[in-house]
Amino acid sequence: MRWLLVPGRPVPNSSEGKDAIMSDPIGELLPPDRLMLTPGPSSVHPRIYRAMSTTMVGHLDPWFLNMMMNEVQVLLREVFRTENRTTFPISSSGSGGIEASVLNPLEAGDEALICVNGAFSARMAEIAERTPAHVTRITAPFGRTVDPDDVRRAGKGKKIKVVGVTHGESSTSVASPLAEYRKVADELGALLVVDCVSTLSGMPIDVDKLRLDICFSGSQKALSAPPGLSPITVSLAAEEVIRSRKTKVQSWYFDLTTTMNYWGQERTYHHTPAIPLLYAFREALRMVMEEGLEARWERHRTNQQAFIAGIEGLGLKPFVENPAERMITVTAIQVPEGVNGKQVQQQLLDDFNIEIAGGFGPLKGKIWRVGLMGHTSRQKNVLLLLAALENVLAVQGHRAPDGAGVAAAIRAYSEAGATAAVK
CATH of the domain at 207: 3.40.640.10
Backbone angles phi, psi at 155, to 5 degrees: -95, -5
Do residues 83 and 160 share a domain? yes
Tell me if 36 is assigned to some domain. no
**How many CB atoms are located within 10 Å of the residue 131 CB?**
20
Tell me if 330 is assigned to some domain. yes
How large is the average pLDDT for residues 182-188?
98
Print the domain residue range for 391. Answer: 292-421
Do residues 163 and 264 share a domain? yes
Tell me if 312 is assigned to some domain. yes
Contact indicator for 22, 251 with CB cutoff of 8 Å = no
Confidence of residue 24 (pLDDT cuts 50, 70, 90): low
Tell me if 35 is assigned to some domain. no
Do residues 217 and 79 share a domain? yes
Do residues 275 and 403 share a domain? no
The pLDDT of residue 65 = 81
By percentage, how much of the chain surpasses pLDDT 90? 83
Do residues 381 and 332 share a domain? yes
Do residues 152 and 14 share a domain? no
Do residues 105 and 124 share a domain? yes
pLDDT tens digit string along 335-381? 999 999 999 999 999 999 999 999 998 999 999 999 999 999 999 99
Tell me if 41 is assigned to some domain. no
66-80, 101-115, 251-265, 289-303: the lowest-pLDDT one? 251-265
Tell me if 178 is assigned to some domain. yes
- Chain-centre distance of CA 294, in angstroms? 19
Tell me if 286 is assigned to some domain. yes
Do residues 101 and 232 share a domain? yes
Which of 238, 258, 290 is the endpoint of a domain? 290
237 vs 61: which has the higher pLDDT? 237
Do residues 10 and 99 share a domain? no
Tell if the pTM clears 0.95, that is, is over it.
no
**What distance in Å separates the CA atoms of residue 211 and residue 184, rounded to the nearest whole number?**
12
Confidence of residue 2 (pLDDT cuts 50, 70, 90): very low
For residue 369, what is the DSSP state? Answer: E
Mean pLDDT of all residues belonging to the chain: 92
pLDDT at 260 over 80: no
Confidence of residue 60 (pLDDT cuts 50, 70, 90): confident
- SS3 category, 15: helix
- SS3 category, 70: helix
Cα separation values, 367 from 82, 207, 263, 334, 397, Å: 36, 32, 41, 5, 18
Number of structural domains found in the chain:
3
Which of 246, 265, 290 is the endpoint of a domain? 290
